[in-house]
């Protein structure tokens, strides 16, 4: 492999087990990236993130350019030194956050002008300035600037948005400074329309990127439509490059997307759920706030091998949440992130052993068995 490169080690059907080599370490795929939007995975230190099994984290250009600013991060030695994270970092370009600003932004062919949600100050983000900010961050993987198509867009609006994103993708690629071990990913757009996704995939492949992301999903279209989009998109992306499904998702989403050929994921769900009392386990989710856990001496997941939480009871976690102690969300976030990493390891092992179809079938069977709260 080159200094930045991807190798597929095993396949089973469309599912792939691979290795992504970067300047800052090697990533086993399929991989889940914890979300550290503002250079922090909420409630976690970098060493506790690493202890869950994570090999790469995600940060966000939009939030970091507003605060503390790309120049400050660069002066501090880049994101990895700033947040004391030893491994690779992928930075989202900010397109999704810009979409959410709605009335606070103005999009043109050149880029987007928007008001900061913090203090109302005006900012301008172009493909070139987004890529430059990510260079200042020292991002291992840079994402092109795109316009994330709004939910329920008409086909005409989705087409215009996608073609604007493809123009921005070319400008982003041209602005990217080649450095050994660093990469840049394009982002497929096109809403839920298969022909637009095909057009986008072909445009990005013609430009040429180190990896390809599928964006604009998990914004309300539902799992069935998301999988249909993947079915239409992934066969048109290079097989020798990593494929990244942005902002996804639930464990069920991840297993289904791996089955279709996705290699990389990120989502706020495990950390956000950890802060609100929801725990992910092999047998589904449970709400630690429920009264049934008040006198339960068992660990949160009897099947987990995570040593940091092995001696902590559900009763104690229940107490921490009821007492509004900050330790509760921290511990449950740790658990959820470890669960996601255990899920990814299980997927990788199953693909390597040629048993992924069995793994997926058993996973969905357990998920369909009903409410875990009634099973425990």
Per-residue pLDDT tens listing for the chain (376 residues): 458 999 999 999 999 999 999 999 999 999 999 999 999 999 999 999 999 999 999 999 999 999 999 999 999 999 999 999 999 999 998 777 766 665 577 889 999 988 887 888 888 999 999 999 999 999 999 999 999 888 889 999 999 999 999 999 999 999 999 999 999 999 999 999 999 999 999 999 999 999 999 999 988 899 999 999 999 999 999 999 999 999 999 999 999 999 999 999 999 999 999 999 999 998 899 999 999 999 999 999 887 878 778 789 999 999 999 999 999 999 999 999 999 999 999 999 999 999 999 999 999 999 888 555 544 4
pLDDT for res 1? 44
Contacts of 17 (CB under 8 A, 6+ apart): 8, 9, 10, 11, 28, 29, 30, 348, 351, 352
CA 138 to chain centre: 19
Q: Which domains are assigned to the chain?
A: 5-266 (3.20.20.105), 274-375 (no CATH)
d(CA 340, CA 284): 12
CB 211 within 8 A of CB 243: yes
Tokens 């989705």 belong to: 158
Judge whether 117 and 101 are in contact, CB under 8 Å: yes
Active site residue 311: no
Q: pLDDT at position 143, please?
A: 98
In angstroms, the CA 266 to CA 268 distance is 7
Give residues with Cβ within 8 angstroms of 126, minimum separation 6: 110, 111, 112, 145, 171
For residue 147, give Cα distances in angstroms to 54, 163, 191: 29, 10, 11
Kind and range of the H or E run holding 123:
strand 122-125
92 classed as catalytic: yes
Check residue 374 and give its pLDDT: 46
**Which pTM does this prediction carry?**
0.96
Cβ contact 230:214 at 8 Å: yes
Indicate which residue of 92, 146, 210, 301 is catalytic. Answer: 92
DSSP secondary structure of 155-193: HHHHHHHHHHHHHHHHHHHHHPPP-TT-EEEEEE--TT-
Tokens of 238: 């290079």
Residue written as token pair 């499904």: 245
By the 8 A CB rule, do 143 and 168 touch? no
Helix (H, G, I), strand (E, B) or coil at 142: strand
Alpha helices per DSSP H over 79-154:
79-82, 95-101, 127-137
Rounded to 10°, the helix 327-353/356-367 angle is 140
Active-site residue, selected from the candidate residues 146, 210, 266, 301: 266
Q: For the sheet containing 15-22, what is the strand order?
A: 5-12, 15-22, 25-29
| Torsion sign over Cα 242, 199, 147, 144 | positive
Nearest by Cα to 59 from 140, 145, 4: 140
Tell me how far CA of residue 209 lies from CA of 134, 188, 321, 355, in angstroms.
16, 12, 45, 31
Q: What is the reported pLDDT for 367? A: 85
Cα distance from N-terminal residue to C-terminal residue, the chain:
47
Query: Which residue matches tokens 């203090």?
Result: 119
């Amino acid at each position: 492999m080159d200094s930045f490169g991807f190798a597929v080690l095993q396949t089973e059907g469309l599912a792939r087990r691979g290795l992504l080599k970067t300047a800052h370490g090697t990533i086993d795929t399929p991989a889940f990236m914890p979300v550290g939007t503002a250079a922090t995975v909420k409630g976690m230190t970098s060493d506790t993130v690493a202890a869950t099994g994570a090999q790469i984290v995600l940060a966000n250009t939009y939030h970091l350019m507003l605060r503390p600013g790309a120049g400050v991060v660069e002066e501090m030695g880049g994101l990895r030194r700033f947040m004391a994270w030893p491994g690779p970092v992928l930075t989202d370009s900010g397109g999704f956050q810009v979409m959410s600003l709605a009335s606070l932004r103005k999009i043109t062919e050149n880029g987007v002008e928007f008001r900061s949600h913090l203090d109302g100050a005006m900012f301008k983000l172009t493909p070139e300035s987004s890529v430059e900010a990510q260079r200042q961050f020292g991002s291992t993987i840079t994402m092109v600037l795109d316009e994330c198509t709004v939910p329920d867009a008409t086909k005409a609006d989705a087409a215009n948005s996608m073609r604007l994103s493809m123009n921005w993708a070319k400008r982003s690629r041209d602005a990217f400074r080649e450095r050994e071990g660093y990469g840049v990913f394009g982002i497929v757009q096109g809403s839920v329309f298969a022909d637009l996704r095909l057009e986008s995939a072909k445009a990005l492949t013609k430009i040429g990127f180190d990896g390809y992301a599928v964006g604009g999903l998990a914004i309300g279209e539902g799992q069935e439509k998301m999988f249909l989009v993947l079915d239409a998109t992934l066969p048109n992306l290079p097989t020798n490059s990593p494929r990244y499904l942005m902002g996804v998702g639930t464990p069920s989403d991840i297993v289904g997307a791996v089955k279709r050929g996705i290699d990389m994921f990120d989502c706020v769900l495990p950390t956000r759920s950890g802060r609100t009392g929801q725990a992910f386990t092999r047998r589904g989710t449970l709400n630690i706030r429920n009264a049934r856990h008040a006198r339960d001496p068992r660990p949160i997941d009897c099947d987990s091998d995570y040593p940091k939480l092995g001696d902590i009871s559900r009763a104690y976690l229940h107490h921490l949440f009821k007492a509004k102690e900050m330790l509760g969300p921290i511990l449950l976030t740790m658990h959820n992130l470890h669960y996601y990493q255990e899920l990814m390891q299980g997927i990788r092992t199953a693909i390597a052993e040629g048993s992924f179809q069995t793994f997926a079938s058993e996973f969905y069977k357990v998920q369909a068995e009903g409410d875990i709260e009634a099973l425990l």
